[in-house]
A and B are shown apart, each in its own frame.
Chain A
Amino acid sequence: MARFLLKRLGLAAITLFLLSVIVFVGASILPGNVARRILGPFADQAAVDALNERLGTDRSLLTQYWDWISGFFQGDLGDSHALNVPVSELIGNALGNSVKLAVFAFVLVVPLAIFGGVVAALRRDTLTDRVVTIGGLTLSVVPEFVSGIILILVFGLWLDVLPVSARAPAGSGFLTQLEYLLLPALTLVVLLFGYIARITRAGAIEALDADYTRTAVLKGLPRRTVIRRHVLRNSLLPTIAVVATQTGYLIGGLVVIETLFNYPGLGRLIFTAATQKDLPVLESAVLIVGIVFLVAMLLADLAYSLLNPRIRHAGAE
């Protein structure tokens, strides 16, 4: 168990290192020099050189990389070129907001998708099953901005029951904040429901076909107990794994959804940094996204092995 987790941790560290190199090299192939880009084409060459020296962008790439990555792990991410504030402050605030939105979306989608998946499995090959599987997958392949726009049109314009912007007025209570977050969260629900429900359905079908379930039925346990204790529990295992892998999609979705709903989270920060070519913010934000994803995968591994004694005792892969 400990060896298994250590191995996973080691792999994640290597992955993270490679990612940081890729991000850094990717951001450094930008043509032209940094100070010239900030000051514009008509600036004095001396001023450009001075700014390059102040930003440290006149040094070798290796030094710059070391500076960035060592600062990163001490919480010092440098300053944003566009806004002149510490990157760590920008990312910290944005991350907090994104987590709020993501947690709300997960709280809505996970029970809903598990319910949908189990119901589909119990009514295998019926119309209900088709609606959940094909309908769910169909919804999840539509880009977030399309489903977001359609939700805005339906609930914000035609029914006029929900606010279109995600930002609640300052000082509003918890419930009002949730109300403002509902449309963006629903857009994430539409994106994630299909996959989670599909995996739960597959897990539930496997559990339904298993010998232990037949034994439970034959020994006269009530249907509800069989479903709760035998089917549901076993179908939760693959569900946990897929929920973790969905964090990747979730963050990708946040870039679009936060931009669409004008919500000050990590996704919109990445978007604004990209439009303003604010590389210090962009680099660090991308690396943070990678870390969040890898941590989610590690947690999934951990939860998976805690819940499944077969993996815990086998120890290996």
Chain B
Amino acid sequence: MTVIEDPAAPIAIPTRDEAKIARRERLRLLGRSPTFVLGSLLLGVWVVCAIFGTLIAPHDPSADDVLNKLAAPSADHLFGSDRLGRDVLSRVIVGAREILITAPLATILGTVVGTAIGLVTGYYRGLVDEVVMRVVDAMLAVPVIVLALLAIVALGPSRVTLVLVIGTVFGMIIAKTVRAAVLSERELEYVQAARLRNERSPYILFAEILPNVMGPIVVEFTVRLGYAIFTIATLAFLGFGADPSIPDWGHDISEHYQFISAGVWWAVLFPSLAIATLIIGINLMADAIAQTFER
């Protein structure tokens, strides 16, 4: 945000220093929030696994061991082994990588697209707004997972399809949130002032309004990141993941839940807990971030 020296500018605009102070204050609050600290610890563990997975893993996650199929947890295989004798612990550690690449990419795509659509439709209103919002409503009448299934059947499963589909659907949802925020911002004095100063529309949209709706966007981003992981893991469980040869929690669970009745709990429990802790971690962070913006 630029410092505005114009004497006609309303005092309500926070100067750069004030914005910085507000941001620092929020960070301080986050550091003291137990939910945020717990959430980032959980996420941190999985980020470390995603980056250094192959170095930490005690075994090769793809190495079969036919003599040790579905072996219960032991000193050598802490989490047991799966139907091909692969080490479950290693697969859980390495499995973090794939989802922590696709989910953030899809969320970033959704946030950028959604913010752009929300800013434009909320600021200009009119026919474009009306049409875009109807299309958004139509798409949101069907659950994300069903839309994703339809799109993957049509386009074929791949990492690109996954990111594009989830990014697009999340873009719609984020567009609605951003639009709602822009609708109330555009009536405020600083926007009127910018218009009177004859600023160009792109400048008003991105330099004036955007910084002031960053709060909802940041909150949406964290919440959507959790849902992106939710959706991608679910699609992998349903057999529509990007690549079955890469260790993946959802896919591993779908391959082993038929063995539950035979008493094989380790091959499904540990990947399940991995997905749960990752998503819960991100949502705890999202909850804490939302609270700092509500103050």
Contacts from A to B (Cβ < 8 Å): 11, 14-19, 22-23, 26-27, 29-30, 134, 137-138, 141-147, 149-150, 152-153, 156-158, 164, 248-249, 251-252, 255-256, 259-260, 270-271, 274-275, 277, 279, 282, 286, 289-290, 293-294
Q: Is B143's CB under 8 angstroms from A274's CB?
A: no
Per a CB cutoff under 8 Å, which of A29, A143, A158 touches B237? A143
B137 at interface by CB-CB < 8 Å = yes
Cα-based distance from A234 to B111 in the complex (angstroms): 36
Q: Is B154's CB under 8 angstroms from A29's CB?
A: yes
Per a CB cutoff under 8 Å, which of A19, A146, A149 touches B142? A19
Q: Is B141's CB under 8 angstroms from A294's CB?
A: yes
Q: Is A249's CB under 8 angstroms from B143's CB?
A: yes
Nearest chain B CB to A284 CB, angstrom units: 12
Cα-based distance from A297 to B179 in the complex (angstroms): 21
Cα-based distance from A294 to B272 in the complex (angstroms): 33
B118 at interface by CB-CB < 8 Å = no
Q: Is A18's CB under 8 angstroms from B230's CB?
A: no
Q: Is A153's CB under 8 angstroms from B260's CB?
A: yes
Identify whether the interface residues of B are mostly helix, strand, loop, or mixed.
helix
Q: Is B143's CB under 8 angstroms from A282's CB?
A: no
Task: Please name all residues of chain A whose beta carbon is closer than 8 Å to the beta carbon of B226 when the two chains form the complex.
Answer: 141
Most chain-A CB neighbours within 10 Å: which of B234, B275, B284? B234
Cα-based distance from A157 to B142 in the complex (angstroms): 34
Q: Is A157's CB under 8 angstroms from B260's CB?
A: yes
B263-295: CB near A (< 8 Å → 1, else 0) gives: 101001100100110011001100100000000
Task: Give me the 7 closest cross-chain CB pairs, A-B, nearest first.
Answer: A252-B143, A18-B138, A19-B138, A290-B141, A274-B149, A252-B145, A146-B272
Q: Is A271's CB under 8 angstroms from B238's CB?
A: yes
Which B residues, 211 to 254, have Cβ-Cβ distances below 8 Å to chain A? Answer: 226-227, 230, 233-234, 237-240, 250, 253-254
Task: Please name all residues of chain A whose beta carbon is closer than 8 Å to the beta carbon of B268 when the two chains form the complex.
Answer: 149, 153
Residue of A nearest to B144 (CB): A252
Q: Is B283's CB under 8 angstroms from A138's CB?
A: yes
Q: Is B239's CB under 8 angstroms from A282's CB?
A: no
Cα-based distance from A289 to B148 in the complex (angstroms): 14
Count of interface residues, chain B, beta-carbon cutoff 8 Å: 48
Please name 29 pairs of A and B residues whose Cβ atoms are closer than 8 Å in the assembled complex, sorted by A: A11-B137, A15-B141, A19-B138, A19-B141, A22-B139, A23-B142, A26-B151, A27-B153, A30-B153, A141-B279, A141-B283, A143-B233, A143-B250, A145-B253, A146-B253, A149-B260, A150-B276, A152-B257, A153-B269, A156-B261, A157-B261, A157-B263, A157-B265, A248-B142, A249-B143, A252-B144, A255-B143, A274-B149, A286-B142
Cα-based distance from A21 to B129 in the complex (angstroms): 19
B72 at interface by CB-CB < 8 Å = no
Per a CB cutoff under 8 Å, which of A11, A137, A252, A260 touches B146? A252
Q: Is A255's CB under 8 angstroms from B230's CB?
A: no
Cα-based distance from A294 to B141 in the complex (angstroms): 7
Nearest chain B CB to A30 CB, angstrom units: 5
Q: Is B134's CB under 8 angstroms from A293's CB?
A: no
Q: Is A256's CB under 8 angstroms from B238's CB?
A: yes
Q: Is B138's CB under 8 angstroms from A22's CB?
A: yes
Task: Please name all residues of chain B whose beta carbon is closer than 8 Å to the beta carbon of A149 when the two chains form the complex.
Answer: 253, 257, 260, 268-269, 272
Known: A18-B134, A274-B152. Contact between A251 and B237, CB under 8 A? no
List 6 additional contacts besides A157-B260, A274-B150; criterion CB under 8 Å: A14-B134, A19-B141, A141-B227, A142-B230, A149-B269, A164-B260
Residue of B nearest to A274 (CB): B149
Known: A252-B146, A282-B150. Contact between A145 and B138, CB under 8 A? no
Known: A15-B137, A26-B150, A137-B287. Contact between A290 and B238, CB under 8 A? no
B155 at interface by CB-CB < 8 Å = yes
B127 at interface by CB-CB < 8 Å = no
Task: Please name all residues of chain A whose beta carbon is closer than 8 Å to the beta carbon of B280 when the two chains form the complex.
Answer: 138, 141-142
Cα-based distance from A146 to B257 in the complex (angstroms): 11
Q: Is A142's CB under 8 angstroms from B143's CB?
A: no
Task: Please name all residues of chain A whose beta carbon is closer than 8 Å to the beta carbon of B40 when the two chains form the complex.
Answer: none
B6-46: CB near A (< 8 Å → 1, else 0) gives: 00000000000000000000000000000100000000000
Nearest chain B CB to A271 CB, angstrom units: 6
